[in-house]
Each structure stands twice: as C-alpha cells, then as structure tokens.
Amino acid sequence: MSSSEFSIIDDFFTVKSTKGLPPILGVGDDCAVLDVPNDKQLAISTDTLVEGVHFLVNSEPQSLGHKVLAVNLSDLAAMGATPTWASLAITLPSINEEWLAAFSKGFFELAEKHSLHLVGGDTTQGPLSITITIMGLLQKHRRLTRSGAKVGDSIYVSGAIGNAGLGLLKSRSGVVDLNDHDVAAYVRPSPRVQLGQQLLGMASSCIDVSDGLAADLNHILQQSGVGATIQHQDLPLTDSVQQHMIDIADEVWPYSTGDDYELCFTLPSIVNIDSIDQRLEKKITKIGVIEEQAGLRIQAKSGELINFSKGYEHFNGK
C-alpha cells in the first residue's frame, strides 16, 4: 500500500458505523479480521464493473458508487443472506478527489442502508474498474440456491423487467435524468435483499436477474435439471417497456436485457404466496411453471409458443 493510497482510503473510505457487525480489525493493516458468529455461515461473492463495458464512460460517480455495491448486494439477495462486510478494489486513471468523494457517497449511502461495513480493499492506478467482494451471513444450512427447482413449482419474478435495459438505451442517447424511472432502474438499481431473506425456507430456487431473465432462469433450469414454460402475457412490464417493444417490433426484447437486479425464484405449489409480505419490497408476479421437458418455452396468450431464438442470440452474443 503506497502512501498516496493510504491517504485515499483514509479520506474517502474510512466510514465507521456501529450498525450490523463491525470487523474485529478493519482497514489499515495487512488484513481485516472478521468474526463469523458460531451459528452462521459466510456467503461470499465477487463482481467487477469495467468502464465502457458494464457502465458508460464518464458515468456519474455517485450513482456508480451505488450501482457497484447494488450489483454485489443482489448476489447476496439471491442466496437469502444478510449483508455484513465488503472489500472494495478500485482502479483509477488518476486521483480525482471530487470523483472519489461522490463515488464514496453513493457507496456508503447504500452500505449504511444495509448495515454493511467496508473492511478493506485496494486502490491502484489504471483504466477505471471496480471489484467488490461482498460477504453476508446465513443460518447454517439455510440458503437459496439455483439447483432446487422441482416440476410443478411456480416461477416468480419481483418488480418489473426490461426497465434497466431501456434505461441503458436512454443513457446512451444522453438522457441521464434520475427522475426517469427507466434511467433510475439502470443507474441506481435496488437489490432485493429483504425479499431474498423472506424467501428462505420457502423458495426452492432463486437467482438475481443480472444477465437477462431468460439467461438467468436458464441457469436455474440447468442446475435443477428441469425445464419451464413462461406465460408471455404475465410478464411484469411497465408502459415504457411495452411501448419500446412496439417501437422496435420485438416482443421478446425484455427477456434478454440485463441489469434488472430483480429476483427470479421458484415456489412449491404448497407455499401460500400471501405468506410473503409483499409490502416490504416490490410486488412479485407469477410468470410460469417448472416442467419436466428441458429448455425454456415462452407461450403466447393464444397458446402458441413464441419463437425465441432471437432472445437467445441477444444473450449468447453478450
């Protein structure tokens, strides 16, 4: 750790909070030291965001600080874990204090909301890129995975899909107005952390929608050894997304847009959906059923299957 790096961490990334579970030893030594409670297991995930690939060049830094943490929190949400700690590795072309202050603000506002402690990290010089390793706690042997979906289970998704994809298109064309719902969905996603925890012991499988609903649901299907049919008319779509689908004449577009950070999960038919307190977070919508026949099918209201090859090409070409 160089002297200048030391001062960056001191100036922008040393926020002490007593909420949650503070580290035994935090930023400033060779390692942080963490105490995992005896009845808990540690859920851990790593995600990197690269400028020009995962976010637009010259992205507004406060939103970026929010988003990079949100993307990682979403992985904990998909396991039902309670966020506790994170490390942040940030590679920057040069030290820009204004940028760092705004990035840090976005990061810590969301961290504070989830009682998450930043316990370490690294700052290096190079093309802008950010890697977070996030940690959360699970009761021992109690977690959501991708591999438990069973034939007959219902498939649900939280919130609406496609908005972040539309927000990306709007941002690319120069509209970065956080009052626009689609733009906000893209640059300031809300990870479904509470919903994930509520699903523990109920959902048979769960994943977060980061690469597009079809690609992510396919991970569940493959890892569970099952297939599914989605009822196209049940897909939760806002007016803006429906209008965009008409504009581009592509009815499967929302299946392949990414960055929604909603949860897609399966519930055994025995689970009473009302037992999930929907007031706490976004509404959830049943979109289909798990079946024995492998593969993912999309059924129109008419009963006919919709040709989905285009939707697959989208995400295979990512």
**Binding-site ranges for its own copies (CB under 8 A):** 1-4, 24-25, 28-36, 38, 41-54, 75-76, 78-79, 81, 85, 87-89, 91, 119-122, 124-127, 129, 131, 133, 136, 138, 140, 143-147, 206-208, 210-211, 215, 219, 223, 315-316, 318
Cβ 223 to its own copies shortest distance, Å: 7
Q: Are 48 and 129 in contact (CB under 8 A)?
A: yes
Q: Are 15 and 108 in contact (CB under 8 A)?
A: yes
Amino acid at 187: V
Q: Is 159 left (phi over 0), alpha (psi -120 to 50) or beta?
A: left
> In terms of CB distance, is 75 or 262 closer to its own copies?
75
> In terms of CB distance, is 45 or 238 closer to its own copies?
45
Cβ 207 to its own copies shortest distance, Å: 6
| Nearest to 129, CA basis, from 52, 214, 215, 76 | 52
Cβ 38 to its own copies shortest distance, Å: 5
> In terms of CB distance, is 49 or 160 closer to its own copies?
49
Cβ 108 to its own copies shortest distance, Å: 18
Q: Are 210 and 258 in contact (CB under 8 A)?
A: yes
Cβ 119 to its own copies shortest distance, Å: 7
> In terms of CB distance, is 85 or 108 closer to its own copies?
85
Residue 2, helix vs strand vs coil = coil
> In terms of CB distance, is 139 or 231 closer to its own copies?
139
Question: What is the DSSP secondary structure assignment for residue 49, as one 8-state letter?
Answer: E
Residues 6 or more apart whose CB falls under 8 angstroms from that of 249 comprise none
CB atoms within 10 A of CB 275: 9
Cβ 243 to its own copies shortest distance, Å: 28
Residue 292, both tokens: 């024995």
Residue 150 CA, chain-centre distance (Å), reads 24
> In terms of CB distance, is 88 or 202 closer to its own copies?
88
Cβ 157 to its own copies shortest distance, Å: 15
> In terms of CB distance, is 83 or 240 closer to its own copies?
83
Spatial distance between the Cα atoms of 47 and 51, rounded to a whole number of angstroms? 13
Amino acid at 225: G
Burial class (CB in 10 A: 0-12, 13-18, 19+), 140: exposed
Residue 191, helix vs strand vs coil = coil
